[in-house]
Every structure is written in structure tokens, then in C-alpha cells.
Amino acid sequence: MARSACPHPASPGRRRLLGLALALSVPWPGIAIAGAYESYFLAVKLDDAETVSELLERGFDPNTVEPERGDTGLILALREESMRVFKVLLDAPGIDLEAKIRNGDDALMIAAWKGNLPAVRALLEREVEVNRPGWTALHYAAANGADEIVALLLDRSAYIDAESPNKTTPLMMAAYGGHRKTVELLQAEGADGRLKNMLGMSAADFALKAGHPKIADVLNEHIREFGK
């Protein structure tokens, strides 16, 4: 549902509708029955923190997943930029901040992908895991040229040459995206431009493939100058 097509979460009409759905679907604390599920995920999408809080108080599990991607409410809130709901769920008793969706993404990775620096900071303050096998938050931040997030993750000991399942590194992602400042930041922090993925492509090859020859030159010059 497009956010622009929805009434503001605080509008009286929408609040009455969600309130009615809530009243009909969850008549007793701790019992999740038909209707609560729909009310919860609709409220997350609409950034309706009041309805989400009420459902949680009645015993709704904050780690419930929806079928489309297997998103938890926390991850869906990040996708939809529902930051009021995100803050509620961040503090919800029993919330699993490390929950993963079907493709292995977690909340930190989605926050990095969206370039959501406040959410990344909030999750890191809760000491979520930064390093993990496969794709990482650093890959996603580098892919989007989110330099503040890249720097913050590196400051929290993110592995700079983390390899995806096909051995793609954050430097390769930054190069492919055409993000010269991100490439230079990663190089300055010690990223290895000599590494190659499973297809034998280096970060410079990624840059050339995406039509960024100047970034390829920067990468190759760095290798020549510093022996990397």
C-alpha cells in the first residue's frame, strides 16, 4: 500500500477504523486471533504507534512475521520508514533485534540499505551483531553510498572485506554504485582492492562494468601506490 495514498495515521477516521478492528479482533490480553494480525501490520505500515502499542499491551507477539517477505514488524517499519513504530518496537519486551527474513536480511541491514542513520545508531546502541556470514550491513551501506553509515559500521568493527556468498565485497558494491567518496573511504580504512569475486572480478572491474571508468582508475591507482 503506497504511503501517499493512505490517510495520516493520526487522522480521526483512520484511528476509528483501526480502533474498531482492534476492539473486534483482540478481546482479551495475550490472545492473538483473526484480525489482530491484519491490524498490526496495517498499523506498522501507517506508522500508527498508538495501535501498535495497544496491541503489544494486549499480548500481541512483536516478532510475528508477515507472509510477503517474512518481515517482522520491526523490519517492516524500517522498510516503510515508520519511525514512530520503529521506536515502539525497539523498546518492546521480547523483541528480537536479530531476527532475519527469508533472504537472511536483518533489521540492521535494512536500516543500512535505506540509509537510515538514526535507526542504524539505535540498533548499534542495542549491540546488535555487525559481522555475520554472507551479506552484511556494510555491503548495503556501501552499495548506496551511505558514507556516514559506512564510517559508523567500521567504527563498530565491521569487517571491511566481508565477502557475500559469491565473494562480493563492500568495496565492489561501492564501485559498482559509482560512489567515489565511499570507495575512497573504504580504501583509506584498508579495503583490499585486489580481491576478486567468484567470477574473477575486482572492484575496478565492477566499476568498469557499471560505466564508472574514473572510479576504476582510482582503484587501480591505489593498488599501484600502496601495493593493494
Residue 228 has pLDDT above 80, yes or no: no
Instruction: Answer with the one of 81, 103, 125 that is the final residue of a domain.
Output: 103
Domain CATH code at residue 151: 1.25.40.20
Instruction: Answer with the one of 103, 125, 151 that is the final residue of a domain.
Output: 103
User: Quick check: is 116 in a domain?
Assistant: no
User: Residue 65 pairs with which residues in a beta bridge?
Assistant: 72
Range in 34-43, 103-112, 182-191 the model is least confident about: 34-43
Write the pLDDT tens digit of every residue in 124-152. Answer: 999 999 999 999 999 999 999 999 999 99
User: Quick check: is 144 in a domain?
Assistant: yes
Residue 65 has pLDDT above 90, yes or no: yes
Residue 21 has pLDDT above 80, yes or no: no
* Total tally of structural domains belonging to the chain: 2
User: Quick check: is 124 in a domain?
Assistant: no
Range of the domain at 168: 134-228
> How does the average pLDDT of the chain come out, rounded?
88
224: how many CB neighbours lie within 10 A of its CB?
Answer: 9
Asked if residue 153 and residue 77 are part of one domain, the reply reads no
Hey, what's the cell of 189?
A: 580504512
Asked if residue 154 and residue 63 are part of one domain, the reply reads no
User: Quick check: is 14 in a domain?
Assistant: yes
Asked if residue 31 and residue 99 are part of one domain, the reply reads yes
Look at residues 128, 189, 124 and name the one whose alpha carbon lies nearest to residue 160: 189
Asked if residue 159 and residue 205 are part of one domain, the reply reads yes
Residue-wise DSSP of 159-189: -TT---TT---HHHHHHHHT-HHHHHHHHHT
